[in-house]
């Protein structure tokens, strides 16, 4: 391995209660994180050319789009199923069950704090004027302010990730104490069921994003309490991660993958929306998984803030600070720059 492709080691992390907490939260063991599988590191027999991954029902991920556009060269994607959440997806990547996984950057921080040897390689989703997560209530709901949420149920796709982080920030910025915020009940509700759960009164607030949000809004009868875009402005919120072992053993594969995804990001920005939607619809129909494509008509943007999905310190520092304030990551335990690399993103380099 050349110096150019060597991944620099992270500074040692202090053991203790916080480490045990993260391992419990993410459902991984130190043994599972440290080993991986032969297919995950190339096994010393040449670089891996088939990348195992998890998808999302009725949606087209950026790697899937990149592959369809021919941007992944000789790489092939091997779909092994659909992920249930970002933390689950990156856990699967860390343990070698898949080759890459994506999650909210706060979840990436938590996994890294549990000594998982991972590195973020490219941003893949975020919030902008078109792609954002909204916290919706019924049109006639009495909920108007953050304080009105005390004692109420908020449905979201998973706990400890993007939706809960933004909810906590909203409550804190609007003056709720930690004790008051603890009385706002966050519940796991599958994204495809969130609108129905909200309309049936099973939850008072539902977190909706992307095509599911726009589809729900088209049905009327709901309004936003707040959105993450209103709260933080445009920002990249999640990254794809790979293990350091895989990156070190497969630098050319990683470069092809990352650069191809970067090209797909920019293709989706510069191509008329109708053409992007048509391409996505063709991809979902062609793969034959009996998926509903109707929601794709509402697609507007992946929301990635930076050109080509390049990652900056700020993408992680916000969540390092947030987790530090909550006592979930020891201050100084991790540095933002140690969590990601742009070395393999050749987009814009000519």
Delineate the domains of the chain, giving CATH numbers in brackets: 7-128+234-338 (3.40.190.10), 133-231 (3.40.190.10)
| Residue 225, both tokens | 């309490």
Q: For the residues 259-274, what does the mean pLDDT come to?
A: 98
Classify residue 12 by its DSSP letter. P
pLDDT tens profile 316-327 = 998 998 888 888
What percent of the chain is modeled with pLDDT above 90?
A: 72
Does the predicted TM-score (pTM) go above 0.85? no
What is the predicted pLDDT for the residue at 42?
52
pLDDT at 23 over 80: no
pLDDT tens profile 300-339 = 999 999 999 999 999 999 899 888 888 888 888 899 999 9
What is the number of other CB atoms lying within 10 angstroms of the CB of residue 148? Answer: 16
Of residues 248 and 32, more confidence is placed in 248
Q: How many residues does the chain have?
A: 350
Sorted by sequence, the CB contacts under 8 Å of residue 13 that are 6+ apart come out as 19, 113, 115, 333, 334
What is the predicted pLDDT for the residue at 298?
87
Helices 210-218 and 191-199: crossing angle, nearest 10°?
30
């Amino acid at each position: 391995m050349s110096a150019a492709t060597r991944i620099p080691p992270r500074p040692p992390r202090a053991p203790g209660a916080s480490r045990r907490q993260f391992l419990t939260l993410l459902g991984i063991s130190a043994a599972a994180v440290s080993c991986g599988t032969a297919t995950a590191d190339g096994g010393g027999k040449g670089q891996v050319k088939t990348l195992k991954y998890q998808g999302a029902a009725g949606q087209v991920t950026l790697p899937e789009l990149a592959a369809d556009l021919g941007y992944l060269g000789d790489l092939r994607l091997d779909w092994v199923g659909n992920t249930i959440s970002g933390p689950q997806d990156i856990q699967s990547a860390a343990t070698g069950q898949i080759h890459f996984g994506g999650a909210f950057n706060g979840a990436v921080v938590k996994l890294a704090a549990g000594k998982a040897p991972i590195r973020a390689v490219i941003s893949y989703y975020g919030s902008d004027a078109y792609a954002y997560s909204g916290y919706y209530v019924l049109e006639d709901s009495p909920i108007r302010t953050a304080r009105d949420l005390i004692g109420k149920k908020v449905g979201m796709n998973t706990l400890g990730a993007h939706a809960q982080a933004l909810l906590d920030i909203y409550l804190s910025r609007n003056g709720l104490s930690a004790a008051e915020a603890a009385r706002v009940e966050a519940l796991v509700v599958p994204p495809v069921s969130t609108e129905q759960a909200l309309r049936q009164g099973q939850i008072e607030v539902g977190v909706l994003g992307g095509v599911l949000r726009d589809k729900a809004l088209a049905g009327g009868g709901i309004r936003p309490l707040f959105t993450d875009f209103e709260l933080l402005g445009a920002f990249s919120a999640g990254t794809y991660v790979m293990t350091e072992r895989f990156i070190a053993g497969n630098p050319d594969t990683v470069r092809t993958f990352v650069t191809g995804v970067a090209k797909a990001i920019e293709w989706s920005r510069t191509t008329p929306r109708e053409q992007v939607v048509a391409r996505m619809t063709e991809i979902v129909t062609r793969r034959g998984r009996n998926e509903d494509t109707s929601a794709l008509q509402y697609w507007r943007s992946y929301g990635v803030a930076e050109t080509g999905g390049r990652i900056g310190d700020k993408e992680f520092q916000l969540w390092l600070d947030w987790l530090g304030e909550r006592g979930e990551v020891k201050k100084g335990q991790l540095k933002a720059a140690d969590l990601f690399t742009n070395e393999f993103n050749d987009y814009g380099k000519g």
